[in-house]
Chains A and B, each alone.
Chain A
């Protein structure tokens, strides 16, 4: 009788435990999500001292935390506030202080901070640190080339970084000719497409892939629209007033949809851009 009572109690407490775990999980899924670790706000030298001989493990933990946080924002299409971008930057800075040779945080910074938060200078500062320690890796210089060419509109400095990337063993062969070719291109959309194609080739993480693919798709649409605008100018010796002119004249069947939820438009200089600024709009 005593054994039966014990068994019954065991089953009851197991049931209560499973019920509570399920409820706690649902509560966390529906409510506030992961937060960037508060450690990022502490001076890196202090954190480095506190983790004793385990800075690598702490860097891994912070990276995972930042990635999960970032991934959740992408999947749920939640707008990231400026203070949160600052926290991401501080996080990457701390991670790379703990383990300067850790490539993933630099890649995370490069694929998000300049695009979404306009933090180009901060990202370049991180990348210069990466270039100084990852001497056998061409990616930091490749990223610096891209930032200078695409965001800072400084082809001269960009070319210098691409040359540096090209001489690192293992760098793709086409880097050597790319700098010259880029100057011949009418704009920097091409550099964005090349950059994102390179990033996608090396990315395994499904969330990041989704994020990069969306951006690449949008840039490809912009490149195609700019090509049609060029054809229109050739045919009519004037710039179309808006993109619907391209459809009306039969150059395109329809204006593609912006994956970010914005609308494409023609700027005064004939270039095409989108009202979404390549940032996910809430309604989409």
Chain B
């Protein structure tokens, strides 16, 4: 257990070495300034436009961890055989997996935190430029809640990256599988709605319906973690929904990490 934190910290520090992180910060600053300026082109929904763009940057910036850093930090360890240095110490394979996941989580939390601060700064900038009545619906708590849930979504996706990196030997394949998981996770709920609706002229076979329903339970339902629109419109995000999504996120992550640990324990390392 006491080896988890050192691994997590090493992963976090190693992640900080990637210059792409600083690129994200530059991109976020540029995009947030753009959001403040472009929102002035709209008639009424200035706050909504600013938040739509800034909160999308929070999500997109956070996705950098599962798509780029996580694969490099996990598969890289195996491909470059640096994993032996860690496992040679009294660290179990399970601790290695959990430590890596926590380290990646810390990186994601840092990115989401910084980008959320930029979002709040952009909103403050907008309030200085545009008339006050456009910001009557501003809800800082909804913005913070939306970012927190976005972080949970990234953690959920991180857990699947950990699993894919344990299962495959190629970092390219792991990236592809992560991308597929992300796309399926974002669309599966809509697909279930579509096949469940009795649309005239649309005949879907029962097998396809079943497969799509099963997919909803197997893949992470990432669309459930999206509260950007509520925050952009200044709507209160219900505590019940947030609690349910949080519990779902933690349960899913735990389940996936258990599978990853079980698989990794049995895996022959090159």
Residues in A lying within 8 Å of B, measured CB to CB: 45, 48-49, 52-57, 59-60, 63-64, 67, 99, 101-104, 107-108, 202-205, 208
Contact = CB atoms under 8 A, between A and B. Distances in A.
A53 B226 contact: yes
Given A104-B42, A208-B43, A52 B48 contact: no
Given A49-B187, A53-B222, A54-B56, A104 B228 contact: no
> What 7 A-B pairs are tightest by C-beta distance, nearest first?
A56-B52, A52-B186, A53-B226, A57-B56, A104-B43, A101-B233, A49-B187
A103 B222 contact: no
23 contacts: A45-B194, A49-B187, A49-B190, A49-B191, A52-B182, A52-B186, A53-B56, A53-B222, A53-B223, A54-B56, A54-B59, A56-B229, A57-B52, A57-B56, A60-B42, A60-B49, A103-B44, A104-B42, A104-B44, A202-B43, A203-B43, A205-B41, A205-B42
Nearest to A134: B233
Nearest to B234: A101
B48 A53 contact: no
A102 B42 CA distance: 11
Given A53-B186, A53-B223, A64-B38, A107 B233 contact: no
Interface residues of B, number: 27
A60 B52 contact: yes
B231 to A, nearest CB: 10
A135 B229 CA distance: 16
Interface in B33-55: 38, 41-45, 48-49, 52-53, 55
Contacts of B59: 53-54
B218 interface: no
Given A52-B183, A55-B229, A60 B44 contact: no
User: Which of A45, A60, A64, A104 is the most central at the interface, judged by chain B CB atoms within 10 Å of its CB?
Assistant: A60
A202 B223 CA distance: 34
Interface of B: 38, 41-45, 48-49, 52-53, 55-56, 59, 182-183, 186-187, 190-191, 194, 222-223, 226, 228-229, 232-233
User: Which of B43, B45, B53 is the most central at the interface, judged by chain A CB atoms within 10 Å of its CB?
Assistant: B43
Contacts of B232: 56
A208 B190 CA distance: 36
Nearest to A199: B43
B45 A52 contact: no
Given A101-B229, A101-B233, A45 B190 contact: yes
Nearest to B232: A56
A204 B228 contact: no
Nearest to B49: A60
Contacts of A48: 190
Nearest to A102: B45
